[in-house]
Structure 1
Amino acid sequence: MIGELKTVVLDTPDLKGLAGFYAELAGLVEHYADDEWILLKTADGTRIGFQRADDHVPPRWPDPAYPQQMHLDLRVPDMAAAVERAVELGATRLPGGGDTFTVLADPAGHPFCLCQADVDSVALADVAIDCEQAGPLARFYSELLGFPVTWEGEGGAMISKEGKLAVIFQEIAEHRAPRWPDPAYPQQFHLDVEVADVEEAEPKVLALGATRLPGEGDNWRVYADPAGHPFCLVW
């Protein structure tokens, strides 16, 4: 383990609108807000962030030219009621889905899935990351986050740890990777990974196959994983 998965962050031109959508849909509570960033938390402390991106180009799933890059899966106790509520809040039904899950787009265009489960209320289940090869990317994040690979099979893989948000990797043929900060190839999502000492952590993530990207601040630096998805080391 190099760092801890701190926050899953979604890009949006409308911070308050998108944060409000997920707060209402999943019972998330606002923890922090300013003009560039809103942070929500679940009851168990899972953090979902919203980053202002005025030039955001939304996904057009399943169009491979406008990929989703990542998506959230939410467990729900009543699929029909949850879908109805999501649409009332501004979601749009998308093609796909099955007996146990429904695919929708949030108001910023990010796809997400509602998954039927034995739960009392809507709950975040995982974040899923698109890639061409799931196994190698799962092992990269396993080393980065200290989550074991708990499933690997045809078309995907998963890393998970008790009490933490699981991370799923799904294979997409000819995945069109982000080229951050180029808005024509948007990241859509990114992960913030908290480290104790960035100078100690950086050589380790680079050795795993990450790439340093432009951009840093007082307590963050930007990298890309081996599939091209940006992530930040924060401290």
Structure 2
Amino acid sequence: MTEPTSADPAAARPASDGIGTLDTVVLDVPDLTVEANFWKALLDGTVSKADDDWITVVTPDRWGVAFQLAPDHVPPQWPGQEHPQQAHLDLYVPDLAAGSARAVELGATVLREGEQWITLADPAGHPFDVCLKEDADGVTVMGATFDCPDASALAQFWSGVVGEPVTYDADGVAMLGGPKPLLFQSVEGYNAPRWPDPAYPQQLHLDIEVPDLDAGEAAVLALGATRLPGQDEGFRVFADPAGHPFCLVR
């Protein structure tokens, strides 16, 4: 992936008021303990919630990364689209070789090495990138990147959801600013999840915190989301225009 910044020349667009705030990035995993321990150690995080089918780790830079038990999880097979990654986390590290070596020591697998970033897979098979940033304070989360057929269009949708501006939009990559950046990259032959069909599983999803579920539902549907099965008094499930599931939570 490329690493766009707000300083790059781009058609930056202002944010809307937003519907909610990004609460958590949630990965489907076959083993909660293995996955949570890996990410907790890599990100120097702390566990804020743990039960039989869910563990949440909070990082020092205030990202919530959660793990949802999926016993029949089908891992992605990066870089193809037959079993696609769909989305991944990007991490900053002050030393690329040391950051990659630490991830491997904890249980990651190297997928591809580059001069500015290295792509690895976590123990559940989810790809992630460690990206060089020499002034980074240890390992920090840069953002979450989503594969899609049209990066510009999906960035506009998510800008409306979280209320952050599009700060970069060029060459098939778009980025939202704010304290928890979201990035979007256009992918040829993009293969969307079809949740809850296990043959086309989601790999991860976002939880968006809203003050009111009814109002939040109406607002995301107006932006182009699709309602999916699944809800209780605290959450409802949707898909964005590219098919990525997400939850509104309160």
Same fold (TM over 0.5): yes
**Which of 158, 165, 170 pairs up with 1:153?**
170
Counterpart position of 2:110:
93
Output the aligned Cα RMSD: 0.8
What do the CA deviations read for 1:22-68 (whole angstroms, capped 9, x no partner)? 11111111111011100010123221111000111000001210100
**Which of 193, 213, 218 pairs up with 1:198?**
213
Q: Which amino acid aligns with 1:181?
A: P
Greater mean deviation of Cα atoms: 137-146 or 196-205 = 196-205
Give the match's secondary structure for 1:18.
Answer: helix
**Which of 125, 143, 146 pairs up with 1:126?**
143
What percent identity do the matched residue pairs reach? Answer: 54
**Which of 115, 124, 127 pairs up with 2:131?**
115
TM-superposed deviation, 1:78: 1.1
Residue ranges of structure 1 left out of the alignment (5+ in a row): none
What do the CA deviations read for 1:137-193 (whole angstroms, capped 9, x no partner)? 0000000000100000011100011xx210000111111000000111111010000
Is 1:38 aligned to residue 55 of structure 2?
Answer: yes
Counterpart position of 1:7:
24
TM-superposed deviation, 1:203: 1.2
Give the match's secondary structure for 1:94.
Answer: strand
**Which of 98, 118, 136 pairs up with 1:102?**
118
TM-superposed deviation, 1:120: 2.5
Q: Which amino acid aligns with 1:224?
A: A
**Which of 212, 215, 227 pairs up with 2:227?**
212
Counterpart position of 1:221:
236
Counterpart position of 2:15:
none
Residue ranges of structure 2 left out of the alignment (5+ in a row): 1-17
Is 1:18 aligned to residue 43 of structure 2?
Answer: no
TM-score between both structures, scaled by the size of structure 2: 0.91
TM-superposed deviation, 1:204: 1.1
Greater mean deviation of Cα atoms: 224-233 or 37-46 = 37-46
What do the CA deviations read for 1:46-100 (whole angstroms, capped 9, x no partner)? 21111000111000001210100100000001111111111111111103x4211
Q: Which amino acid aligns with 1:219?
A: G
Counterpart position of 2:3:
none
TM-score between both structures, scaled by the size of structure 1: 0.97
